[in-house]
Structure 1
Amino acid sequence: MKRIVTLLSLALGMIFSSSAQQAAMPTIIVFPDDAWMNENGFMTTINNNGETEYLPRYNDAFVQNSEIGTAIQSVQKVLEERGFQHEDLQNLLKDMKRERAEELANLADGDASEKGAMDELLQQAKPDIRIDLHYTAKEVGPRKNISFRLKAVDAYCNDQISSCEGTVEMTLDPLDLALRKVIAGKMDEFCAQIMNYFQDLHDNGRKITVVFRTAEGSGINFLRDEIKKDGDTYNDFLYDWVKDHAINKSAKKGRQTKNLCEFKNVRIPFFDDHKEPIEPEDWARSVRKDFRKETGIKVAKGQGNTLGRVNFLVGVE
């Protein structure tokens, strides 16, 4: 009898140990995609130094188009049935509107400069996966022809993970029911690809970007200036620091100029030593102290940080 109990205990222990290695379900957030926003008149265009930029107006879309909220909820319900957690975009917009006075105060400090509406929303919600939705619903008498397209994207690094599309013709179902039916039929591979990708993140770390820029008038040259005359440039030091602190030394060089050092696909853990979620800014914070210790040069938090992008300014007064 004791032997049976011991074997059962060992078996249960193996099961729980195996379960602990599995990633929890990712949190998703569903956005109307840029094409839908533009087609329906909810994009503002601005001229930025000769280049056209498109700024989505998500609040206007929910207020002026009654269908988009229904369509997003339909996607959320299907994914909920698959076990995904979600952040609701419409509720998030309402929360941010109530907090706008505080946000405007932050703007005065430069914290939110150079960030678009989506970047601000993602940084507030902190989802793992962003789902972009495009759909059309054309009435044919009492019936509808409905088509949809979904794209799953890593909310931290914008890598595309999965996509699917489908159509339903001449349906009498209301939009929400018709969308749920057609989307549900396309979910097996779509969700499997998301979970495979998320398991990789769980095993090997999130992917973020870390950027260092020289402060105006600092005279710093990342590619030329050396650390204590030992032959390693500032760029070498920063690259080594990022690799040494990344999971499995996983990091790639991006743009490298005398005024800018960019490192992409930097893998960082989900949690710190206390099992608390770790933010990219917190993970990279100690580079400021380490660089100053080696060079005597001050490094400050940069502007325009987003969910998966950390910026630093080197050589500030």
Structure 2
Amino acid sequence: MFFAQAKKPTIMIVPSDLWCNKNGYVMDYNNQGTIEKIPNYKQAFQENSELSFVISKINGLMAERGFPLKNMESVLKTLSKDSAEDVMMSSKDSGSSVSESPIDKLKKVAKADIIMQLTWTVASLGPKKQITFNLQGLDSYTDKQIATAAGTGNPSFSVSEAVLLEEAILSHLDNFNNSLQDYFEDLFENGREVVIKIQKWDDWDEDLESSFGSDNEELSVIIEDWLSDNTVKGRYNTTDATENMMLFEQVRIPLYYERKGKQRAMDTRRFVSNLSRYLRGEDFNIVSKVVTNGLGKATIILGGK
């Protein structure tokens, strides 16, 4: 009854960086002057016929166990429809800096709680084939590994990698799913972990040691009080604080918030925007800009848009 009523994490299955690199599905990305190789998922789906079958097979196994899944191929099409991929590619050519990598944008559109990263290799043993796999469950906000399943299937005459993979992971999947659900239940109770940074524009005349409001409190104290009131169980850690910046880590934000009588998923941008709106109120009149860095980090820049 408990698990039937509990909310399930949303999941998206992706081929691992190792699998993409080994099979040549990578592209160069200019990350603020540093060239990085990142997976080219779109090319992988277009050129590797087994990839769609493998992911579809695992999607089916997960769906049978009551876990909602995001279809990665559909998410990529949504990105293309919004011309997001064109923007990502042009940033490589122009060398301009961006706040989110292409992988972050993919996660943002998918809005999945957990990323299942899959690696597999197939070896030939005479007329038979044998598959070795590694399945990792990653928190899409922090990239922390929360579940894993790995093993080697029995040799088989099957020619389909999807069927070989199904046979290999079946004995591991239930324990893997239990780990995912346990982690999600912990998030539901204790909040999702994110990072929040506070900065100021150079031309703003105030700083975090300036006093505001009817109580004439320092701005840094006002912000910490708000976090204490709005995080799950008041959990956050002030890692650094000066007159010009503050860094909060292990900030536990709720998974959901209520709007118009419906529960909606809370993300870092929504949570930080609430803080920005609070500071913009008549008690403080502080205008600020919110900048997101992937799913799990956001920055408020005080003193203007």
Q: TM-score, normalised by structure 2?
A: 0.83
Q: Give 2:175's aligned residue.
A: 189
Indicate if the aligned counterparts of 1:208 and 1:268 stay in contact, CA closer than 8 A: yes
Q: Alignment length, in residue pairs?
A: 294
Identity %: 28
**Distance (whole Å) between structure 1 residues aligned to residue 137 and residue 240 of structure 2:** 26
**Distance (whole Å) between structure 2 residues aligned to residue 217 and residue 315 of structure 1:** 8
The amino acid across from 1:34 in the alignment is D
Q: CA deviation at 1:246?
A: 0.9
Q: Give 1:287's aligned residue.
A: 275
Instruction: Rate the CA distance shift 1:189–1:236 in 2: closer, same or farther, 3 A.
Output: same
Q: Give 1:206's aligned residue.
A: 192
Instruction: Rate the CA distance shift 1:231–1:67 in 2: closer, same or farther, 3 A.
Output: same
**Distance (whole Å) between structure 2 residues aligned to residue 52 and residue 284 of structure 1:** 30
Q: Does 1:245 align with 2:234?
A: no
Q: Give 1:297's aligned residue.
A: 286
Q: Does 1:155 align with 2:140?
A: yes
Q: Does 1:277 align with 2:259?
A: no
Structure having the higher Rg: 1
- 1:172-183 matches, cutoff 5 A: 172-173=157-158, 174-183=160-169
Q: Does 1:118 align with 2:107?
A: no
Moved more, 268-277 or 123-132: 268-277
Indicate if the aligned counterparts of 2:151 and 2:168 stay in contact, CA closer than 8 A: yes
**Distance (whole Å) between structure 2 residues aligned to residue 298 and residue 32 of structure 1:** 42
Q: Does 1:60 align with 2:48?
A: no
User: What SS does the corresponding residue of 1:36 show, helix, strand or coil?
Assistant: helix
Q: CA deviation at 1:37?
A: 1.6
Q: Does 1:26 align with 2:5?
A: no
Which blocks of at least 5 consecutive residues in structure 2 are unaligned?
A: 92-96
Indicate if the aligned counterparts of 2:214 and 2:283 stay in contact, CA closer than 8 A: no
- The CA deviation string for residues 129-165 of structure 1, in whole angstroms up to 9 with x for no partner, is 1111111112344322211101111223323211110
For the aligned residue pairs, the C-alpha RMSD in angstroms reads 3.1
The amino acid across from 1:275 in the alignment is K
**Distance (whole Å) between structure 2 residues aligned to residue 220 and residue 141 of structure 1:** 74
Instruction: Rate the CA distance shift 1:158–1:102 in 2: closer, same or farther, 3 A.
Output: closer
Q: Give 1:308's aligned residue.
A: 296
**Distance (whole Å) between structure 2 residues aligned to residue 255 and residue 145 of structure 1:** 51
**Distance (whole Å) between structure 1 residues aligned to residue 19 and residue 248 of structure 2:** 32
Q: Give 2:94's aligned residue.
A: none
**Distance (whole Å) between structure 2 residues aligned to residue 96 and residue 155 of structure 1:** 18
**Distance (whole Å) between structure 2 residues aligned to residue 236 and residue 227 of structure 1:** 10
Which blocks of at least 5 consecutive residues in structure 1 are unaligned?
A: 1-14
Instruction: Rate the CA distance shift 1:283–1:103 in 2: closer, same or farther, 3 A.
Output: farther
User: What SS does the corresponding residue of 1:285 show, helix, strand or coil?
Assistant: helix
